[in-house]
Amino acid sequence: MKVAVLVFPGSNCDQDMLGAWQLMPEVECQYVFHSESSLEGFDVVAVPGGFSYGDYLRCGAIARFSPVMKALQEFAESGKPVIGVCNGFQILLEAGLLEGALLRNEGLSFICRPEKLRVVNKHSMFTSAYAENQILEIPIAHGEGNYYCDAETYARLKSNGQILFEYEHNPNGSFMNIAGICNSKGNVLGMMPHPERVVESLLGGTDGLPLFHSILNFCQHKTA
Amino acid sequence: MYPNPQQIKDQKIYSRMGVSDGEFEKITEHLGGRLPNYTELGIFSVMWSEHCSYKNTKPQLRKFPTKSPKVLQGPGEGAGVIDIGDGLAVVFKIESHNHPSAVEPFQGAATGVGGIIRDVFSMGARPVACLNSLRFGELSNERNRYLFEKVVKGISAYGNSVGVPTVGGEIYFDDCYNGNPLVNAMCVGLLKHEDLQKGVAGGIGNSVLYVGSSTGRDGIHGATFASENLSEESESKRPSVQVGDPFMEKLLIEACLEAIQHPKIIGIQDMGAAGLSCSSAEMAAKGGVGIELNLDLVPQREKNMSAYEMMLSESQERMLLVVEKGYETEVADIFKKWDLYAVNVGTVIEEPILRVKHKGVTEAEMPVQALTEEAPVYYRNSAEPVYFQEGMKRAASVSAEIKEQAEQKYQNNWIEMLKGLLATSSIASKRRVFQQYDYMVQTNTVAGPEKSDAAILRIRGTQKALAMTVDCNSRYVYLNPEKGGALCMAEASRNIIASGAQPIGVTDGLNFGSPENPEIFWQIEKSVDGIVAACKAFDIPVIGGNVSLYNERSSMGAVYPTPIIGMVGLIDNPAHITTQMVKHAGDSLILIGGNEQAAFGGSELQKMLFGAVYGDCPGIDLEEAAQLNMRMLEAIHQGLVRSAHDVSEGGLAVCLAEKLFGTGLGAKVSYEAEDPINWLFAEGGHRWVLSTAEPEKVLALFGAHASLIGEVLAEPSLELWGESLPVAGAEQIWANALDHLVELAG
């Protein structure tokens, strides 16, 4: 299975994302620079966190114009898994691959700390290895992770099962405690918490691992 | 537009740049009797500022032991380098950004972080962690709250964006820092031996490559500004403060680390203080060559910049490279991939001079040795201060006065005294601050803030880990600089040891007032002596550091002498990683080290009871401390230690409380102390509290230096002499105190 980790100027969780995937021997993971125009041959694309283009103008607003984003649109349309974490989530929103927007945190400060999350929907290619309503501890590290959408969108996300993760204690003002959502087809995930930071017990937890296993299971099942 | 050489001399224009009459004469001598023009004078003034030349402190800095078989690079380069085996080395340095932070706290702190990160990757290392040591005036003052909040925001904005985790630090508040905060940032990096770079020029005819961001008018004379006292007029020096762009820095890191793999790079140096002047002069001096620059080629972000402005600009995120002739394009292409400027702006020349050309005119021509090694050195007068002499006289009565106040104000109720201490700004949790820092990015952080006495990072691909800490109790140093300096080193070593690491090196951030005041100079001399004595006793080399003088406000006097110790340690085996908090009910609590040296001068309790510190600071027996360090590591290596926390501010009582926070466990202390207030709250000596499942073995290992003081309880309360303090309540006080101090004061 081949995983691409996109690298934009200013990405800084690219190495962490690559490291998490490389824990699984079945996975071949490599960086794809933003100037590339093809994602051919990859089974999964991960858009890592960081401060692409310094988060200038608006988080993710410049990165969405990178050449690789056109290829990513096509990749997403093909139904293969795409995961965007933190700044990656912001980029996916700016690119229109997900619905809603991310505002500045309610307290106007950057927050870095472990947060409790609840798995709201385990019937997705990203969450199948979790239990329904399982409580996870996954760190957040962002200044603009306050998810917003209008009531109509929320109702649709809710009824389609597109809300995958909710915060137990809302850290940033996110609408209805939303921490992670997917698109209507269910193959594009965006989340503010960093699952790639909790994949080794030495670093304080492994609650992120099942997410990577879920995606791996999905890909293997599909090819089998 | 600029005054001519004769006007500079006649009107003493040089004095506005901090150049003395004597120094002006020397400059003229170095130029072979020719008077300097305005550009040359500007370059001399920044190169001869304390910030760049250490002219007031060189004789002091020479006292530090700087060698060990593991030191690959000592002081003199961007950062020091120590071998850690497996073909790897650790690179680290601390640097101050005090004056800029006093007038523009956000940018001042942000660019302080950016500057120290560049020092580390200019050595060829990937920056893996930052720490910071901050000092402000008391939070009851609005300006201090503003400086505090903005400095933290600046560090957060820059560090988070650039993707280097901020894993540790310390913050203290004291009136002596009113109007003159201290902002010291430390960066730690890792490199493979073969990637080690130096800031040196060489090979006549080779090219000088300017890379990174463009040059603007920001930060002109920053180094000069940093080398004078702050005053009410300092506000007008705001243009001397640089503006940071962490995005550029991130690109520059990636591009430089890629570029150093190119075999034709001769040298690389950060354009930090004194920008293009300092980097080109220092690289030339180290290589015994000269450099000719053509400023027409320098990327400029503003129009009509003069040679003077370009040479003195401290625009951020720029580096200077010397590249073998013929390979300029290959190297430049690496930077262009990252959308950075990479321009050939000069040539290495044989004659050891720095020659600056602009628009066909030679704007400056100066011997590089005159700018660097031959900068003036001052042997300042030193005098024992009156406050110190008075403090020594009062020292004998400190303990009795503490007890009288403890009786009067607290009826000797230890629970209330402990609660009071947990709410002080020194001891309160710094969560409000550190949760604004991304301390996990790069996913190497094993122990971030408030987990272990030192921050711990694993080294990917090895079994090893690094421990790091910054420490300084400036109250101790103020009361008794020599003992205080040694105590700072001892505390840093305790923190490193408690995390399970062997200390391997130190970087020192020396922050003082004006060296021209003999009493201040005495503080510098004595505290360096104290640090040197401890370095020798513990066998830890100093591999680099920073000096920041003139930390004074004309109206308020000098800050406490604040020599900050940044220390790094090495862990060989992940099983040795040790954290602060107790782990299991039933474990024994053992106090290591005696309290014979413990005292109340400069203690947190004295500050709480009297609102001031006085007397003499606590003592330490350095030989015994060195023995205890070794013994403690042995205990950890033998797997006897489940948790360890050093006894520092607030004494044993605060240490015990902190060991319980967040664990859901409690402790019962059964030790019968002869002098309870002293036993619980006095500071000093060289002590830790550890928890263990094998108390007999620990007691046997330490002999008379260990005492069994109690055990870990399943019930979350701290029980002491028949009274008990619920841990949850105490933890809440501690966790929320800083929020209260900032928000309720406003």
DSSP-derived 3-state class of residue B501: coil
Identify the domain boundary among B375, B405, B426.
B375
Asked about A86 being catalytic, the answer comes back as yes
pLDDT value at residue B744: 75
DSSP B143-158: HHHHHHHHHHHHHHHH
Tell me the CATH number for domain A2-223.
Answer: 3.40.50.880
Dump pLDDT digits (tens) for B240-291. 778 899 999 999 999 999 999 999 999 999 998 889 999 999 999 999 999 9
CB B121 within 8 Å of CB B256: yes
Is residue B152 pLDDT above 80, yes or no? yes
Q: How many CB atoms lie within 10 A of CB B611?
A: 8
CB B707 within 8 Å of CB B647: no
**Mutation to test the A interface, candidates B432, B440, B581, most A Cβ within 10 Å:** B440
Identify the domain boundary among B336, B357, B375.
B375
Is residue B232 pLDDT above 70, yes or no? no
pLDDT value at residue B223: 67
Question: What amino acid is encoded at A31 in this protein?
Answer: Y
**What band does B228 get if pLDDT is binned at 50, 70 and 90?**
confident
Per DSSP bridges, beta strands A44-47 and A28-33 are unpaired
Which tokens hold the place of B736? 């929320």
Judged by phi (left if over 0) then psi (alpha if -120 to 50, else beta), residue B567 lies in beta
Rg, Å, chain B Cα set: 26
B247 in reach of chain A (CB within 8 A):
yes
Query: What is the C-alpha separation between B559 and B108, in angstroms, rounded?
Result: 18
Task: Give B442→chain A minimum CA distance, Å.
Answer: 6
Identify the domain boundary among B375, B392, B425.
B375
The whole-angstrom distance between residue B360's C-alpha and the CA centroid of its chain comes to 43
The whole-angstrom distance between residue B157's C-alpha and the CA centroid of its chain comes to 19
CB interface of B with A, residues 503-542, below 8 Å: none
What is the domain range of residue B208? 1-65+198-375
Dump pLDDT digits (tens) for B685-733. 999 999 999 999 999 999 999 999 999 999 999 999 889 999 999 999 9
Which tokens hold the place of B646? 């050093």
CB B438 within 8 Å of CB A141: yes
pLDDT value at residue B155: 98
Q: Which of B371, B375, B380 is nearest to B528 (CA)?
A: B380
Is residue B50 pLDDT above 80, yes or no? yes
> Does A12 contact B443 at a Cβ distance shorter than 8 Å?
no
Q: Give me the phi and psi of B212, to 5 degrees please.
A: 110, -135
Dump pLDDT digits (tens) for B560-573. 999 999 999 999 99
Domain of residue B3, CATH code: 3.90.650.10
User: For chain B, what is the mean pLDDT?
Assistant: 95
Which tokens hold the place of B203? 């090979």
Which tokens hold the place of A105? 């945190």
Task: Give B327→chain A minimum CA distance, Å.
Answer: 25
**What band does B114 get if pLDDT is binned at 50, 70 and 90?**
very high
Dump pLDDT digits (tens) for B406-463. 999 999 999 999 999 999 999 999 999 999 999 999 999 999 999 999 999 999 999 9
**What band does B77 get if pLDDT is binned at 50, 70 and 90?**
confident
Task: Give A202→chain B minimum CA distance, Å.
Answer: 6
- Which of B51, B99, B645, B705 is flagged as catalytic? B51
Which tokens hold the place of B649? 């501010």
Asked about A194 being catalytic, the answer comes back as yes
Dump pLDDT digits (tens) for B624-667. 999 999 999 999 999 999 999 999 999 999 999 999 999 999 99
Query: What is the C-alpha separation between B142 and A13, in angstroms, rounded?
Result: 37
Question: What amino acid is encoded at B382 in this protein?
Answer: S
How many separate domains does chain B show? 2
Q: Which of B114, B93, B107 is nearest to B246 (CA)?
A: B114
Is residue B238 pLDDT above 70, yes or no? no
pLDDT value at residue A221: 85
**What band does B746 get if pLDDT is binned at 50, 70 and 90?**
low
Neighbouring residues of B175: CB distance < 8 A, sequence distance ≥ 6 = B137, B138
Dump pLDDT digits (tens) for B382-402. 999 999 999 999 999 999 999
CB A34 within 8 Å of CB A66: yes
Q: Which of A162, A190, A184 is nearest to A102 (CA)?
A: A190
Which tokens hold the place of B88? 């790897």
pLDDT value at residue B235: 66
Is residue B210 pLDDT above 60, yes or no? yes
DSSP state of B215: B
pLDDT value at residue A223: 59
pLDDT value at residue A132: 93
Q: How many CB pairs under 8 A join A and B?
A: 84
Neighbouring residues of B10: CB distance < 8 A, sequence distance ≥ 6 = none
Closest CB from B153, B161, B338 relative to A54 = B161
Contacts 24+ apart (CB under 8 A), B395-402: B395/B601, B395/B615, B395/B616, B397/B615, B398/B599, B398/B600, B398/B601, B398/B606, B398/B614, B398/B615, B398/B616, B399/B599, B399/B600, B399/B678, B401/B610, B402/B600, B402/B603, B402/B605, B402/B606, B402/B609, B402/B677
- B635 located within any domain: yes
Is residue B483 pLDDT above 70, yes or no? yes
Annotated domain spans of chain A: 2-223
Q: Where are the beta strands (DSSP E) in B121-228?
A: 126-136, 166-173, 182-192, 207-212
pLDDT tens-digit profile, chain A (224 residues):
999 999 999 999 999 999 999 999 999 999 999 999 999 999 999 999 999 999 888 888 899 899 999 999 999 999 999 999 999 999 999 999 999 999 999 999 999 999 999 999 999 999 999 999 999 999 999 999 999 999 999 999 999 999 999 999 999 999 999 999 999 999 999 999 999 999 999 999 999 999 999 999 999 987 55
DSSP chain A: -EEEEEE-TTB-SHHHHHHHHHTSTT-EEEEEETT----TT-SEEEE--B-GGGG-SSTTTTGGGSTHHHHHHHHHHTT--EEEETHHHHHHHHTTSS-SEEE--TTSS-EEEEEEEEE----STTTTTSPTT-EEEEEEEESS-EEE--HHHHHHHHHTT-EEEEESS-SS--GGGEEEEE-TTS-EEEESS-GGGSSBGGGTB-TTHHHHHHHHHHHHHHH-
Query: What is the C-alpha separation between B677 and B331, in angstroms, rounded?
Result: 66
Per DSSP bridges, beta strands B688-692 and B723-726 are unpaired
Tell me the chain A residues in contact with residue B335 when contact means C-beta distances shorter than 8 Å: none
- B434 located within any domain: no
Q: Where is B483: in which H helix or E strand?
A: helix B481-498
Which tokens hold the place of B79? 């950062």
The whole-angstrom distance between residue A71's C-alpha and the CA centroid of its chain comes to 18
Closest CB from B163, B435, B574 relative to A111 = B435
B437 in reach of chain A (CB within 8 A):
yes
Top-confidence residue, B209 or B746: B209
Q: Which of B281, B643, B580, B614 is nearest to B451 (CA)?
A: B580
Closest residue on chain A to B167 (Cα): A112
CB B540 within 8 Å of CB B504: yes
Tell me the chain A residues in contact with residue B438 when contact means C-beta distances shorter than 8 Å: 110, 112, 141
Is residue B470 pLDDT above 60, yes or no? yes
Per DSSP bridges, beta strands B318-323 and B706-713 are unpaired
- B158 located within any domain: no
Closest residue on chain A to B253 (Cα): A10
